[in-house]
Amino acid sequence: MSSHFQIDQDRLWASLMEMAQIGATDRGGSNRQALTDLDKQGRDLFVRWVEAAGCTVEVDEIGNIFARRPGSVPDAPAVLAGSHLDTQATGGKFDGVYGVLAGVEVLRTLADNGVVTRRPLEVAVWTNEEGCRFAPAMLGSGVVAGTYDLEFAYSRVDKEGRTVGEELARIGYKGARPAKPKPYAAMLEAHIEQGPILDSVGDTIGVVTGIQGAEQFDVILSGASAHAGPTPMEMRRDPWRAAAPIIEGALALAERNGPWGRATIGDIKASPGARNTVPEQLVFSVDLRHPERAVLDRMVAEFRELVAAKAGASNIEAQIEGVWKMAPSPFEPSLVDQIERVARELGYPHRRMVSGAGHDSLHTAAFAPTAMIFVPCEGGVSHNEAEAATPADLAAGANVLLQTMVAVANKV
């Protein structure tokens, strides 16, 4: 391990704060949505920084940026790190941008110390990870992975009718490099956790073993509308009779499949939606998650059985409509082990954990050995202007990234 050098904590923090000024909000966050003029400013700043660190820069057809530092074996598969610079409309200073700037700090630290790795190193800025301006999210990495084709990506439209293809050209980031996978020895992504686990237990590093799978549904329960006063309870076909035990059962299902099972009912609508009327119909969303495919499949099957049973018992018609799904994405075990080994050798309290949110690493895992490094964020608050992380924790994650990249890059 190259323990004689570490990243510059103050420089990393200063870079994060400088980037945060691009699109700074009144409440201390950042609004740098994908392919806006502000996103262009953030991209331009990244390019200036990596070129100053001695890197060459390529931009691919979907606007992903790759900064490359040569190795002593130029044609060897590179070690890639990266994340995204785009934010939510009311985003924080660290989501995504930390992973990019931790990668920049790795490049700077190696340049400062005159270190040449065997394999080349690259740092990527992935396009439109957030998906708040253009859906779907993780678009740039998804095109490279083959999840979306290029023309589909170009045709995505924002609320003003502007397309991804038009906006890439307008801001000057519609590149020539094919948006196709290259051989990579590894892909690493440092990120704030976006959840409360590390912060609550006092650990510094999350060694991420994979990303949870998710399936989302709309449950439609149909009964009969009736006046709230004259209609006796036993004579009603009230969708709530089925909805209440279904919702309770979904939450219990996640608890039975703990610690990583999740169930969320995030939206509900009653029709006709009057205070003094039994609703004719209820529609509510259900989001089920688990990192193991077999367990998630079982949860989905049990949930479908639950809906059928509870609706049938209350003489309610039930439909389940699939809305979206994301397969579980396990990470490369040898990389996970390497990250854990580095965290241990650097003396950082750490734990293995699963990512509950989607990241570009979900897509890169399809074409490169992939793993992630988490650091705490205060209270687990993210996608929020109040998002906060300490300079020491951010530096710790960057040091783990540095040493992991060097170890993989020097492996014969």
Amino acid at 311: A
pLDDT tens figures, 326-343:
889 999 999 999 999 999
In this model, does residue 412 exceed pLDDT 90? no
Residues 357-389: b if buried by 16+ CB within 10 A, e if exposed: bbbbbbbbbebbbbbbbbbbbeebbbbbbebbb
Domain boundaries, the chain: 9-211+328-409, 213-326
Which CATH number applies to 9-211+328-409? 3.40.630.10
DSSP string, 358-377: --THHHHTTTS-EEEEEE--
pLDDT tens figures, 92-150:
999 999 999 999 999 999 999 999 999 999 999 999 999 999 999 999 999 999 999 99
The predicted pLDDT at position 358 comes to 87
Mean pLDDT of 18-33: 97
213-326 maps to CATH 3.40.50.2300: no
* Cβ–Cβ under 8 Å, residues 144 and 82: no
320: CB partners within 8 A, 6+ apart: 217, 218, 219, 220, 304, 307
The predicted pLDDT at position 125 comes to 98
- Degrees, nearest 5: CA angle 180-339-127: 30
In this model, does residue 2 exceed pLDDT 70? no
Handedness of CA 130, 87, 393, 406 (dihedral sign): positive
Mean pLDDT of 53-67: 98
Smallest CA-to-CA distance from 91 within 392, 377, 398, 397 is with 377
In this model, does residue 1 exceed pLDDT 80? no
pLDDT tens figures, 345-393:
999 999 999 998 889 999 999 999 999 999 999 999 999 999 999 999 9
d(CA 136, CA 362): 14
Q: Which two tokens stand for residue 151?
A: 């023309």
Smallest CA-to-CA distance from 20 within 96, 125, 109, 106 is with 96
pLDDT tens figures, 396-411:
999 999 999 999 999 9
d(CA 330, CA 320): 28
pLDDT tens figures, 274-323:
999 999 999 999 999 999 999 999 999 999 999 999 999 999 999 999 99
Mean pLDDT of 190-195: 96
* Cβ–Cβ under 8 Å, residues 147 and 183: no
Smallest CA-to-CA distance from 168 within 292, 52, 325, 62 is with 62
Same CATH topology for 9-211+328-409 and 213-326: the answer is no
d(CA 352, CA 198): 10
pLDDT confidence bin for 3, thresholds 50/70/90: low
pLDDT tens figures, 150-181:
999 999 999 999 999 999 999 999 999 999 99
* Cβ–Cβ under 8 Å, residues 86 and 128: yes
* Cβ–Cβ under 8 Å, residues 102 and 82: no
- Residue 187 has a CB neighbour count (10 Å cut-off) of 27
